[in-house]
């Protein structure tokens, strides 16, 4: 497993040759406990992960997000919306069947946004991680710690892009604001 830094790129070729076939992008976060006079209480923070599929000209081809859990071609599936961030492990997961991604799609961009408008000062321990899920036991390939506190309500997390005959992951970590992926498109464009 590789801990990525902002802007770092990782080839997704398997050691010993071969390419990955099925990966998942997990998003995890916790709400910051706030309190008064020694009483701390966590508030619910509803972050939403999205995957946007782009072609070589930077045109949006398809999406998978909480209002469309599966891309139209079926290659990308969002496993469901977590409204609180409570619990251990990944709070939202997007699964990608890499060989099924249409050839015209060159880049998959993963974003996170606060649909309710809470900013990232309400979030701690946020991360995204890429797992090889074609194995009987999922293997974590890369992790990117999302920068926390701030007045932004969204972040362009990472992208998968075609790299020769395979794929590569790049950690982006671009803070931005918006309630859905549509609001984030201007911030995504420079990363395509």
pLDDT of residue 3: 83
Structural domains of the chain in order of their starting residue, each with its CATH number:
2-33+46-191 (2.60.60.30)
Q: In what order do the strands lie in the sheet with 76-78?
A: 2-3, 139-145, 123-132, 22-31, 92-97, 76-78
- Report whether pLDDT(189) > 80: yes
- Report whether pLDDT(21) > 80: yes
Looking at the DSSP assignment, which residues form a beta bridge with residue 144?
128
Tokens of 181: 């992926």
Q: DSSP class of residue 189?
A: G
> Token pair 């209480």 is at which residue?
41
Per residue in 123-133, pLDDT (tens digit) is 888 888 999 99
pLDDT of residue 97: 96
Per residue in 62-95, pLDDT (tens digit) is 999 999 999 999 999 999 876 555 667 788 899 9
Taking residues 44-48, what's their average pLDDT? 81
pLDDT of residue 91: 85
**pLDDT tier for residue 145 given thresholds of 50, 70 and 90:** confident
- Predicted TM-score (pTM) of the model is 0.89
pLDDT of residue 13: 73
**In terms of C-beta density within 10 A (0-12 exposed, 13-18 middle, 19 or more buried), how is residue 105 classed?**
buried
């Amino acid at each position: 497993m590789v801990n990525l830094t902002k802007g770092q790129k990782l080839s997704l070729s398997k050691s010993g040759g071969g390419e990955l076939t099925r990966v998942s992008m997990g998003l995890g976060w916790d709400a910051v406990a706030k309190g008064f006079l020694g009483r701390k209480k966590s508030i619910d923070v509803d972050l939403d992960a999205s995957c946007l599929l782009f072609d070589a000209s930077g045109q949006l081809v398809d999406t998978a997000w909480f209002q469309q859990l599966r891309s139209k071609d079926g290659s990308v599936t969002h496993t469901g919306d977590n409204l609180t961030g409570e619990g251990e492990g990944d709070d939202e997961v997007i699964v990608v069947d890499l060989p099924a991604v249409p050839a015209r799609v060159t880049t998959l961009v993963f974003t996170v946004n606060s649909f309710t408008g809470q900013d990232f000062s309400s979030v701690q321990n946020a991360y995204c991680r890429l797992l090889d899920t074609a194995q009987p036991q999922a293997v974590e390939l890369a992790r990117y710690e999302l920068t926390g506190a701030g007045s932004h309500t969204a972040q362009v997390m990472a992208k998968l892009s075609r790299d020769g005959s395979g794929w590569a992951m790049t950690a982006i970590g671009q803070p931005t604001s918006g309630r859905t992926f549509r609001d984030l498109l201007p911030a995504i464009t420079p990363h395509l």
